[in-house]
Each structure stands twice: as structure tokens, then as C-alpha cells.
């Protein structure tokens, strides 16, 4: 009888629980990554009778690539502008008064279905005590042009999957690569989206501040971003994945490719940037050797991600 | 479709046959085991040793060999084929191990004192419990009949094995009344590292195992009964010297409820329906291996629900067994690697990305005694196998766009003819059958195989493995002498095996590359065994077994884990209550090894074993005491199937004491 009581007790203990819980996959891949879906207001200000509001994901501008939606409402008529020419120029001023910007869409596009102006900005650094970002906008209504400027805060991007890098190519041009997607990678094939931009050096002297010609950037066209993702962690021995696809430009101007992440953790996206003539402007080929115990060597051009 | 028709014909044949024969009543049927297609029952002990583990017992069968990764949980190979090619069941219940590295074959979740027999069927004859290629191994649980004259029965066995300081206690008891039966067993084993033939410790070869089982049967009417059964098994701190990891804990709960109905007359003689549930959790541990570069957790879980329903039909010389099998299994296994700086993000992936296997199949086996001397056995089965991968994106990494679900049809057919002429017996048979890839073969993700040091990737699109087999045997038996030769030959289409992928790079630091499960066009396997026995004197018996096997792939290269020529010869001497046994067994040099699959040539070895036992009575209790030694000469050896060439146990003196009451 004692035996059976013991047995029943043992069985009860066994039935009631697993010793260790299974990993919840969704929360596992969200451990260090938060995915934002919602466009919330980042900043809102007025100019005369106009209320200007800018929305971005999570209501925040981050270092790196930011997609945003801008609306201007005439507070008199309570109607939003839809025929305006809107220009957008973010400028960062550091403690000794030097101005700089980052890749951005200067002339915003109007999205008629959703009734907003869309643009993007790649902020090259976050706001600090000594680095201050300011937006310079202009818009037109009833043949009148209005200009307005407003301080904004750019926060550090904690999601490494939206990291960016800037560098000078072998052609002497200054380039920017900013990751756009995936925000929250999966252990899977992920569509990897990045913006590639170049700085257009001004051909004339600076006019009245802010002179957009001094802060001009453009999306590079018809380049290819060759991709080799690897795990840098020494114990992973330069582990890589397969079936990855190099990034090529699509109609929206961004570059699309495929990256396969075989597990969570630190990954390095090793790049080589190739122009339309097949010349490598930046980046080195990395070793494909499996080298357990040795941290994987990175390309000259890379972005680290973590998920 | 052809096969579907054939199977339907088989059923049709059965009923036509049944109708043509006149009704005849059997005498009284006791409600115990109704076995119409006969099964040879064996006691769970070997000739050499009465207190054996399930593995040791299985090893005494000539068509079973083992891959050994340590002293515990050996992977049984039936007809020299790995365990995914055979169906291994407990009373027909499907249980699936939760370890991606095959550390936990089903045989590791039972104990010798809760089993009554192990039923091994070769090839398609073993299709009763589901689709198979190699055959089936069914572990039969103890089942005490109702209304025994002696209500309480039991046995207690204890012993010590000196080599690995294994101490074991096995107890089982049963109560039988007219209405109610209870079976219970408890087992506990604890062993330290064993030492090899050079007296060196084989580190990480310890184990601790606890097993308990309980069965309650109630007779609901004269001819029907219900039965509830459960097995609980727990293993702690089990070392696997051949693997880079050990086991921290594994637990299994195996439960079932059975309803049995026997009929005194009519076509149907017995109906037996069982629903079952089992859950296994398996947690590997590498904290005992400081030499590992990466600390890694690899937990696995396997949960199975199932139903099986069996009907026995008998008409005169014709008997038939029909069985419906249905089960649903969810296998999930994870890996989590920790960077050297533990504060950093750990690296996670599923090695089994939540794979569901649902199977439903109908099997029928018929036996027709054509005359006193000859018998025809034939049967078939048809099963539907459905797989679903919860996190199919893992599979897409290597197999982009592969569907999340996969349904397969698994037919099987077999026929055999037996002839007895005087003292000679002959049999010939053939079979055809499909099997679905296992969870690892279909959906495994970077499963590290420490044998060939590759990471293995499953392929959900693998074709069914299709087996064509032929078998034959001939034997002679008289009062003193018997000899039996058996051969079988398998031609297996789409033989699933790992092949080096030029894609991807290893994930485990010990690994040297990535292999993907792929289908060979075909491979062939040949098994031969010769058994002989001779009664030299009334109390002196000789027995010998010789086995040979050969496995080749489509390019005539050797398949891995094929047993070389092996032999066993044993003498048994009985003098009153005292008996002596001695045996010699060994393998010849492994000529046909497979470097491609990580094998190297294993030299020959010979092992000599000895044991003696004495039976006496303490009061009313029958008591047996046994002393013996395995590997008396302390030979240093490892076999062709020892993972990573780990040496086997050196000289092992064992003692055991058994009381029966």
C-alpha cells in the first residue's frame, strides 16, 4: 500500500509540471528587440494658422533610418493641406557651431489615400548636450511660402537591427547605409532592407542658412550590396548562414535582399558595396573558414545586429 | 492505389474465408492473454545473467545490435538498421524519445521488472503497430491474470556489479482476485563510472535510474475488463562518455487505459482497445564538461496521445489480427548556446521546431494453417502520416518554400510460408513497405552528430523510404540437436542518410561541416544468422550463434553500423540446484566499414563470460543467488557500434540475489 501511495505521489508530481518550461519563441525573439508598428506623434508645432505634426514609429526619432508622416492643418478651415510643396531639412549643430545633416527626403511626397506627406530621415547621431537637431520646413499654401524651424530630439536606437554606418568609398564619396527592416528578425529567412545614400558636396558657397544645397543627399541607384552574414562570437567559429541574397535596389529606392539568421544572438552583416560598373567601393571579402574559438573577422564595411 | 486495392483484397479474403468455414465453439476462454498469432514469450533474463537491464536482454537477440554511447540507454538496431527504421512500442503504444541525439531510446524508459517479454518482428511482419522498414520491437508489460489461486505474488532482486559499482534493487508484486488485479514494480539503479580493459576509468559513464509502474485491472463482466496502467521513469545524472554532453534529468510518464472484451463464440474472439498518453522530458547538461568551449542547454520534450484497437478473429484454421493505430506526437527540442561572456545575449534555436506527427493506420495480419505441416502468414497495412512544423521558417532556411504540412501514405504488405517436414522446417517470405522520415530526418535543425562530427539538417521533402525484402530460413531440430539458418535481404529505395552539404556552416564548435538528410537511390542490406544447440548430456547444453551482415549504398560503398561477422558460443551445465554458464562472444575485424559516415576500422575482439547460480529455499521463498563475471580476461575493446570508439567495460564481476514469493 505504501508503494502505491508513493507511486501515486510520484505520478502526480510528474503530471503536474514539466521540470523546465519550454521557451516561448515569440518572447524569445523579443528579448532585446521591440518591434514598433504604430505611427505616433513625435513633434507638433504651429506656424501662423497652421498646425504641423510629424508622426514616426513609436512617436520617436531615432538615430538611423526614420520613416515619418507629416500633416499640416489649416486651423482656420480645419482642413489639411494636400497641394503644398513641402521641403524638409534636418540639421545638427554641434558645440562649436558646425552644421551637418544626414540623408533625408527634401521634397516630401503626398500620399493621397492616407492624406499625409511622407518622408524619411537618417539621423547620423543622437541628440546630446553638444549636438542639437533642428528641423527646417517650408510649405506653401495659397501661393504663399512659409518657413518654420523646430528643435527635435533624436534618441539612441536600441534596436541594433536598425543600425547605420557611414564611410567614404574608394571613389572619394561619402556614403551612408542605414538598416530599415527587419525590425524584429526571426530565426528564418528575413527580408533585409537598407537605404544607401551619398552626400552631394555643394558646388557653390553657402547662401543664407539653411541652404539646402549645402546639405544635399541622394539615394544611390543601381548599386549592389553584397552580403555575408556571420556570427562574430568566438565560440561560433565564424558561423554563417546560407541562401542569403545580395541587396539590390527596388522601385521605392531602398535596397532589398535576404538574410537568414540561423539562431538568435549577435550577427555581423558583412557588406561589400558594388557600384553599377561592378567596382567594389567599400568592403572586403571575409574568410569563410570555420574557426572555433576565434572571433570572426569583419569586413571593412559591416553593420552589427543583435536579436 | 494498387496497394490500397491489395489491402482491401486482403480484408475481403479474410471475410470470405471466414464465411466459408463452419462454426465451431472453443472450450472455455480465460480472460487473460488471447494470442491468436503466436508470440514466443521470453523471460527477461539472459542465459548468462538473471538480473539484466532491458538493453542487455535485447542484446541477447540475434537480430538486435546496439549503438552505445555509454553504459546507459543503448540504441537498438534491428536488422542492422537505426532506430527510426523500426517501430518501438510499449504494449503497442508509441512513445518517442525527446532527445535529438538519441540519448533516450524508448527502451530506456522501461525496466526489466515491469516487462514480461519483448516481441521482436523482422521486416514488414512488424507492421502491426505502424509503418516500418526494419521491423518492430514491442515491449510487453507484465500483466497478471485474474483469479490466480495464489493471490499475492512478487519478487525482489538486488545485486551489485563491481566494475561500475552498480547497485540495483528491483521489486515487483502482484495481487490477483477474481475481480481485481494489481501489478506494481519499483526499480532503482545507481552506477558510477565503469573502467575499461586497461583499468582506466571511462569518465562520464555513471547513471542513476528510478522506475516505477502500476497497473490496475478490473473485471467488468465475465468476459470483459478495464485496465489502467502507468509507468514513471526518471534518470538523473547520466553520463554519455561518447557524447560532448551528459544528461541532467529525463522523465517519462507513460499511461494507458485499456478495455478488453472476449467473445466465446462468433467470428470475433477478442477486442482490445487502448487509449494512451505519454510525456517525456529530457534535459541535457554540459556543465560537467568544462573542456567544452560553449555552454549549451539542449532540452527536449515529446508528448504523444494515441489510440489502438485490436480485434482477433478466428475461424478454424484461419486466424487474423486487425489493429487500428492512431497517434499524435509533438516533439520540440531547443538549443541555447551561451557566449563566453554570460551577460551577453544567449543564442537560441529549435533543433526540432515543434514538429507534430499524426498517424492513423489499419493493419491486418492473417495466419492460415493450410495443413498440419504448412502455414501461410500474410498481411498488410495502410497508414496516413501527417507532419506539421510549427516554426516552419526554420526549415525554410535550408529548404526555402517547403510546405508546413506534409501528408504521406504508407502502405505495407507481407507474406510468408512455413513448412514443417518431420524434423525439418523451412520458411520463405517477402515484404514491401514504406516509412516516413523521422522528426530529425524531416525537420531536424543543426543536430550535432558526434560520431561523424557533422551538424545534421532535416529535409521535409524527403520521399518515403520504400523497402522490398525477402527472407528465408531452414532448420532442423531433434531431441538433442537443433540448427536454424535465417537470411533476409532488404532493398531499400530512397534510403535516408546524411550527406555533406556544400551550403551553410556548422553551428556547433566541434562540428566540421553540415550534412543534410538526403535519399540515396537505394541501398541494400543482407542479414544472416545461424543458431545451433546441442544437448551433450542431459545436464550439459551447448548453444551457438553466428551472424553476418552486409550493407551497401547505391555506389557499392559500405553503410555505417553494419555488424561484422560475430559469434557467440555458450555452455550450460546444471547439477541439482546449481548451474554454471560460460560463454564466449566476439566480432571479427570490421572489414566493411564506412569512412564516409565517420567509421574507422574496428579490430576483432573476444570476450569470455562466466556465471554460476544456486537455487534454494528460505522458508517458502524460492531464492536464487548468482555470481559471475563478464569479460573475465579484462579485454580492452570497443565494438563497431561504439560511438566514438569508447572502450567497453573491462572485467565486471556481478552478483545478484532474487527472492520469489
Report the distance separating Cα A229 and Cα A261, nearest Å. 8
Q: Does B143 have pLDDT greater than 70?
A: yes
Grid cell of B555 as nine digits: 555506389
Whole-number mean pLDDT of chain B?
89
Stretch B462-481: mean pLDDT: 96
- In chain A, % of residues over pLDDT 70: 94
Chain B nearest-CA residue for A18: B281
Residues 6+ apart with CB under 8 A from B644: B241, B242, B243, B450, B451
Q: Does B429 have pLDDT greater than 50?
A: yes
Stretch B549-576: mean pLDDT: 94
3-state secondary structure of B252: strand
**Out of B334, B345, B397, closest to residue A262 by CB:** B397
Asked whether B512 and B489 are in contact (CB, 8 A), the reply is no
Q: Does B52 have pLDDT greater than 80?
A: no
- Of residues B587 and B450, more confidently modeled: B587
Q: Does B244 have pLDDT greater than 60?
A: yes
Q: What is the dihedral of CA A256, A258, A264, A266, to 10 degrees?
A: -60
Q: Do A20 and B212 touch (CB under 8 A)?
A: no
Q: Do B503 and A243 touch (CB under 8 A)?
A: yes
Residues 6+ apart with CB under 8 A from A103: A120, A121, A122, A176, A178, A195, A197, A199, A217, A219
Of A133-137, B47-51, B259-263, B278-282, the poorest mean pLDDT is in: B47-51
> Is residue B25 one of the residues assigned to a domain?
no
Q: What is the dihedral of CA B594, B596, B599, B604, to 10 degrees?
A: 30
User: Cα distance from B217 to chain A (closest Cα, Å)?
Assistant: 14
> Is residue B577 one of the residues assigned to a domain?
yes
User: What CATH number is associated with residue B416?
Assistant: 2.40.170.20
Cα-based angle B139, B144, B149 (whole degrees, multiple of 5): 155
pLDDT category of residue B458 using cuts at 50, 70 and 90: very high
CATH numbers and ranges of domains, chain A? 39-155 (2.60.40), 160-306 (2.60.40)
Cell 556481478 appears where?
Answer: B654
The number of distinct structural domains making up chain B is: 1
Closest CA to B540 of B520, B564, B570, B577: B570
Q: Do B509 and A25 touch (CB under 8 A)?
A: no
Cell 518492430 appears where?
Answer: B136
Report the distance separating Cα B97 and Cα B247, nearest Å. 13
Within 10 angstroms of residue A280's Cβ, the number of other Cβ atoms is: 17
The secondary structure element, H or E, covering residue B11 is helix B2-20
Q: Do A242 and B504 touch (CB under 8 A)?
A: yes
Stretch B503-515: mean pLDDT: 88
Report the distance separating Cα B415 and Cα B434, nearest Å. 16
Q: Do A189 and B253 touch (CB under 8 A)?
A: no
Stretch B574-588: mean pLDDT: 93
> Is residue B456 one of the residues assigned to a domain?
yes
CB contacts, 8 Å: B281 with chain A: 18-20
3-state secondary structure of B448: strand
The secondary structure element, H or E, covering residue B356 is strand B347-369
Main-chain dihedrals φ then ψ at residue B632, nearest 5 degrees: -55, -40
Q: What is the pLDDT of residue B452?
A: 87
Of A52-61, A112-121, B64-73, B448-457, the poorest mean pLDDT is in: B64-73
CB contacts, 8 Å: A22 with chain B: 299, 301, 332, 334
Q: Which domain holds residue B469?
A: 42-660
Q: What is the pLDDT of residue B363?
A: 96
Q: Does B139 have pLDDT greater than 50?
A: yes
Residues 6+ apart with CB under 8 A from B645: B600, B602, B638
> Is residue B131 one of the residues assigned to a domain?
yes
Q: What is the pLDDT of residue B598?
A: 83
pLDDT digits (tens, 9 = 90+) for B355-372: 999 999 999 999 999 999
Q: Do B345 and A235 touch (CB under 8 A)?
A: no
In this structure, chain A runs to a length of 307
Report the distance separating Cα A135 and Cα A283, nearest Å. 33
Closest CA to B48 of B660, B653, B659: B653
Report the distance separating Cα B571 and Cα B336, nearest Å. 52
Q: What is the pLDDT of residue A8?
A: 60
Q: What is the pLDDT of residue A3?
A: 59
Report the distance separating Cα B436 and Cα B384, nearest Å. 10
3-state secondary structure of B336: strand
Beta strand residue intervals within B422-512, DSSP E:
424-435, 447-449, 454-457, 465-477, 481-500
pLDDT category of residue B268 using cuts at 50, 70 and 90: confident
Q: Do A187 and B184 touch (CB under 8 A)?
A: no
Q: What is the pLDDT of residue A51?
A: 94
pLDDT category of residue B524 using cuts at 50, 70 and 90: very high
- In chain B, % of residues over pLDDT 90: 74
Cell 560553449 appears where?
Answer: B294
Q: Do A236 and B347 touch (CB under 8 A)?
A: yes
Stretch B89-96: mean pLDDT: 95
State how beta strands B652-660 and B152-161 pair: antiparallel
Report the distance separating Cα B560 and Cα B80, nearest Å. 9
Asked whether B385 and A303 are in contact (CB, 8 A), the reply is no
> Is residue B639 one of the residues assigned to a domain?
yes
User: Cα distance from B171 to chain A (closest Cα, Å)?
Assistant: 10
Q: Does A126 have pLDDT greater than 60?
A: yes
Q: Does B438 have pLDDT greater than 60?
A: yes
Stretch A106-115: mean pLDDT: 93
Q: What is the pLDDT of residue A4?
A: 60
DSSP codes joined into one string, B119-147: EEEEGGGGGGGS--SSEEEEEEEP-PPTT
Report the distance separating Cα A279 and Cα B264, nearest Å. 88
Burial B573-609 (b: 16+ CB within 10 A, else e): eeeeeebebbbebbbbebebbbebbbbeebeebebbb
Q: Does A47 have pLDDT greater than 70?
A: yes
DSSP letter at A240 equals B
Asked whether B259 and B273 are in contact (CB, 8 A), the reply is yes
Report the distance separating Cα B34 and Cα B258, nearest Å. 14
3-state secondary structure of B33: coil
3-state secondary structure of B326: strand
Asked whether B349 and B302 are in contact (CB, 8 A), the reply is no
pLDDT digits (tens, 9 = 90+) for B274-325: 999 999 999 998 988 888 888 999 999 999 999 999 999 988 889 999 999 9
DSSP codes joined into one string, B174-231: EEE-SSEEEEEEEEEEEE---B-TTS-B-SS--EEEEEEEEEEEEEEETTEEEEEEEE
Q: Does B46 have pLDDT greater than 90?
A: no
**Out of A4, A20, A260, closest to residue B184 by CB:** A4
Interface of A with B (CB under 8 A): 3-4, 6-8, 10-11, 14-15, 18-20, 22-23, 25, 28, 31-32, 186-189, 231, 233-243, 260, 262-266, 288, 290, 292-293, 306
Q: What is the pLDDT of residue B9?
A: 40
Stretch A58-68: mean pLDDT: 96
Whole-number mean pLDDT of chain A?
91
In this structure, chain B runs to a length of 661
Q: Do B347 and A293 touch (CB under 8 A)?
A: no
Asked whether A300 and A284 are in contact (CB, 8 A), the reply is yes
Q: Does B435 have pLDDT greater than 80?
A: yes
Give the CA distances from residue A280 to residues A179, A218, A286, A300, B176, in Å, rounded to whole numbers and listed in that order. 20, 19, 14, 12, 84
Helices (H), chain A: 2-16, 25-28
Q: Does B570 have pLDDT greater than 90?
A: yes
Report the distance separating Cα B83 and Cα A261, nearest Å. 32
DSSP codes joined into one string, A69-99: EEEEEETTTTEE--S---EEEEEEEETT--E
- In chain B, % of residues over pLDDT 70: 93
User: Cα distance from B504 to chain A (closest Cα, Å)?
Assistant: 5
Chain A nearest-CA residue for B252: A14
Q: What is the pLDDT of residue B410?
A: 97
pLDDT category of residue B33 using cuts at 50, 70 and 90: very low
Helix, strand, coil percent values for chain A (each to nearest 5)? 10, 45, 45
> Is residue B199 one of the residues assigned to a domain?
yes
Cα-based angle B558, B561, B566 (whole degrees, multiple of 5): 100
Q: Which residues pair with B381 in a beta bridge?
A: B363, B412
Stretch B634-655: mean pLDDT: 93
Q: What is the pLDDT of residue B60?
A: 77
**Out of A22, A186, A239, closest to residue B332 by CB:** A22
Cell 571575409 appears where?
Answer: A286
pLDDT digits (tens, 9 = 90+) for B196-238: 999 999 999 999 999 999 999 999 998 999 999 999 999 999 9
Stretch B86-109: mean pLDDT: 94
- Rg of chain B in Å (alpha carbons): 25
Amino acid at each position: 500500500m505504501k508503494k502505491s501511495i508513493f507511486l501515486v505521489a510520484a505520478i502526480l508530481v510528474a503530471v503536474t509540471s514539466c521540470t523546465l518550461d519550454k521557451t516561448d519563441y515569440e518572447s524569445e525573439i523579443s528579448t532585446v528587440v521591440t518591434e514598433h508598428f504604430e505611427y505616433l506623434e513625435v513633434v507638433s508645432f504651429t506656424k501662423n494658422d497652421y498646425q504641423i505634426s510629424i508622426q514616426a514609429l513609436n512617436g520617436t526619432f531615432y538615430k538611423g533610418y526614420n520613416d515619418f508622416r507629416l500633416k499640416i492643418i489649416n486651423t482656420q478651415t480645419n482642413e489639411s493641406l494636400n497641394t503644398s510643396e513641402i521641403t524638409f531639412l534636418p540639421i545638427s549643430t554641434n558645440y562649436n557651431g558646425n552644421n551637418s545633416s544626414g540623408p533625408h527626403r527634401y521634397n516630401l511626397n503626398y500620399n493621397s489615400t492616407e492624406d499625409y506627406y511622407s518622408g524619411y530621415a537618417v539621423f547620423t547621431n543622437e541628440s546630446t548636450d553638444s549636438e542639437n537637431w533642428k528641423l527646417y520646413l517650408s510649405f506653401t499654401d495659397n501661393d504663399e511660402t512659409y518657413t518654420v524651424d523646430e528643435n527635435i530630439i533624436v534618441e539612441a536606437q536600441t534596436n541594433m537591427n536598425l543600425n547605420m554606418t557611414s564611410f567614404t568609398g574608394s571613389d572619394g564619396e561619402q556614403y551612408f547605409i542605414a538598416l530599415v527592416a527587419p525590425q524584429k528578425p526571426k530565426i528564418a529567412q528575413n527580408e533585409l532592407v537598407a537605404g544607401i545614400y551619398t552626400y552631394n558636396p555643394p558646388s557653390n558657397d553657402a547662401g543664407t542658412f539653411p541652404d539646402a544645397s549645402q546639405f544635399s543627399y541622394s539615394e544611390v541607384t543601381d548599386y549592389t550590396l553584397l552580403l555575408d552574414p556571420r556570427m562574430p562570437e568566438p565560440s561560433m567559429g565564424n558561423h554563417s548562414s546560407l541562401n542569403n541574397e545580395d541587396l539590390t535596389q527596388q522601385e521605392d529606392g531602398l535596397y532589398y535582399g535576404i538574410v537568414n539568421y540561423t539562431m538568435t544572438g549577435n550577427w555581423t552583416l558583412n557588406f561589400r558595396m558594388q557600384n553599377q560598373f561592378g567596382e567594389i567601393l567599400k568592403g572586403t571579402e571575409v574568410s569563410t573558414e570555420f574557426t572555433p574559438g576565434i572571433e570572426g573577422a569583419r569586413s571593412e564595411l559591416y553593420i552589427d545586429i543583435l536579436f | 492505389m494498387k496497394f490500397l486495392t491489395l489491402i482491401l483484397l486482403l480484408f475481403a479474403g479474410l471475410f470470405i474465408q471466414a464465411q466459408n468455414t463452419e462454426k465451431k465453439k472453443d472450450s472455455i476462454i480465460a480472460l487473460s492473454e488471447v494470442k491468436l498469432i503466436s508470440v514466443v514469450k521470453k523471460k527477461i533474463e539472459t542465459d548468462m545473467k538473471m538480473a539484466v537491464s532491458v538493453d542487455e536482454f535485447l542484446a541477447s537477440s540475434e537480430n538486435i545490435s546496439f549503438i552505445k554511447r555509454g553504459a546507459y540507454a543503448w540504441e537498438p538496431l534491428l536488422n542492422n538498421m537505426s532506430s527510426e527504421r523500426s517501430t518501438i512500442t510499449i504494449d503497442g503504444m508509441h512513445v518517442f524519445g525527446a532527445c535529438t541525439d538519441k540519448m533516450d531510446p524508448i527502451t530506456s524508459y522501461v525496466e526489466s521488472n515491469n516487462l514480461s517479454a519483448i516481441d521482436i518482428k523482422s521486416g514488414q511482419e512488424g507492421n502491426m503497430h505502424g509503418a516500418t522498414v526494419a521491423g518492430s520491437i514491442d515491449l510487453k508489460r507484465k500483466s497478471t491474470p485474474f483469479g490466480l489461486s495464489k493471490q499475492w505474488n512478487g519478487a525482489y532482486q538486488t545485486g551489485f556489479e563491481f566494475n561500475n559499482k552498480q547497485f540495483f534493487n528491483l521489486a515487483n508484486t502482484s495481487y490477483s482476485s477474481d475481480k481485481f488485479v494489481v501489478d506494481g514494480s519499483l526499480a532503482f539503479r545507481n552506477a558510477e563510472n565503469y573502467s575499461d580493459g586497461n583499468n582506466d576509468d571511462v569518465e562520464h559513464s555513471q547513471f542513476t535510474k528510478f522506475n516505477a509502474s502500476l497497473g490496475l485491472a478490473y473485471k467488468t463482466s465475465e468476459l470483459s475488463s478495464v485496465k489502467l496502467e502507468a509507468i514513471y521513469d526518471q534518470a538523473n545524472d547520466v553520463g554519455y562518455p561518447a557524447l560532448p554532453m551528459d544528461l541532467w534529468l529525463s522523465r517519462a510518464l507513460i499511461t494507458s487505459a485499456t478495455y478488453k472484451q472476449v467473445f466465446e463464440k462468433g467470428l470475433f474472439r477478442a477486442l482490445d482497445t487502448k487509449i494512451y498518453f505519454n510525456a517525456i522530458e529530457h534535459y541535457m547538461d554540459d556543465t560537467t564538461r568544462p573542456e567544452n568551449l560553449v555552454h549549451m542547454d539542449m532540452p527536449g520534450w515529446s508528448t504523444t496521445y494515441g489510440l489502438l484497437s485490436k480485434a482477433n478473429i478466428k475461424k478454424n484454421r484461419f486466424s487474423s489480427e486487425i489493429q487500428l493505430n492512431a497517434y499524435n506526437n509533438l516533439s520540440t527540442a531547443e538549443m541555447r548556446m551561451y557566449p563566453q561572456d554570460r551577460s551577453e545575449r544567449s543564442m537560441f534555436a529549435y533543433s526540432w521546431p515543434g514538429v507534430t506527427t499524426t498517424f492513423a493506420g489499419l493493419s491486418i495480419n492473417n495466419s492460415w494453417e493450410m495443413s498440419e505441416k504448412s502455414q501461410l502468414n500474410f498481411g498488410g497495412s495502410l497508414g496516413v502520416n501527417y507532419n506539421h512544423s510549427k516554426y516552419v521558417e526554420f526549415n525554410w532556411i535550408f529548404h526555402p518554400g517547403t510546405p508546413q504540412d506534409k501528408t504521406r501514405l504508407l502502405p505495407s504488405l507481407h507474406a510468408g510460408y512455413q513448412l514443417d517436414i518431420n524434423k525439418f522446417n523451412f520458411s520463405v517470405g517477402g515484404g514491401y513497405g514504406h516509412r516516413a522520415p523521422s522528426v530529425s530526418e524531416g525537420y531536424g535543425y543543426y543536430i550535432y552528430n558526434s560520431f561523424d562530427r557533422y551538424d545534421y539538417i532535416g529535409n521535409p521533402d524527403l520521399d518515403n523510404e520504400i523497402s522490398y525484402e525477402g527472407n528465408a530460413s531452414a532448420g532442423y531440430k531433434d531431441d538433442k540437436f537443433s540448427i536454424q539458418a535465417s537470411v533476409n535481404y532488404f532493398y531499400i529505395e530512397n534510403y535516408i542518410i546524411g550527406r555533406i552539404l556544400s551550403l551553410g556552416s556548422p553551428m556547433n564548435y566541434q562540428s566540421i561541416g553540415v550534412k543534410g538528410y538526403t535519399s540515396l537511390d537505394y541501398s541494400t542490406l543482407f542479414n544472416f544468422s545461424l543458431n545451433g544447440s546441442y544437448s551433450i548430456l542431459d545436464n550439459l547444453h551447448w548453444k551457438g550463434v553466428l551472424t553476418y551482415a552486409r550493407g551497401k549504398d547505391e555506389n557499392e560503398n559500405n553503410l555505417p553500423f553494419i555488424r561484422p561477422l560475430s559469434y557467440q558460443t555458450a555452455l550450460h551445465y546444471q547439477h541439482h540446484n546449481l548451474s554454471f554458464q560460460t560463454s564466449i562472444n566476439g566480432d571479427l575485424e570490421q572489414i566493411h566499414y564506412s569512412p564516409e559516415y565517420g567509421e574507422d576500422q574496428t579490430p576483432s575482439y573476444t570476450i569470455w563470460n562466466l556465471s554460476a547460480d544456486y537455487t534454494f529455499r528460505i522458508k517458502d521463498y524460492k531464492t536464487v543467488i548468482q555470481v559471475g563475471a563478464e569479460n573475465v580476461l579484462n579485454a580492452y575493446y570497443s565494438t563497431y557500434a561504439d560511438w566514438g570508439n569508447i572502450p567497453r567495460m573491462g572485467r565486471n564481476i556481478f552478483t545478484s540475489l532474487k527472492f520469489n514469493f
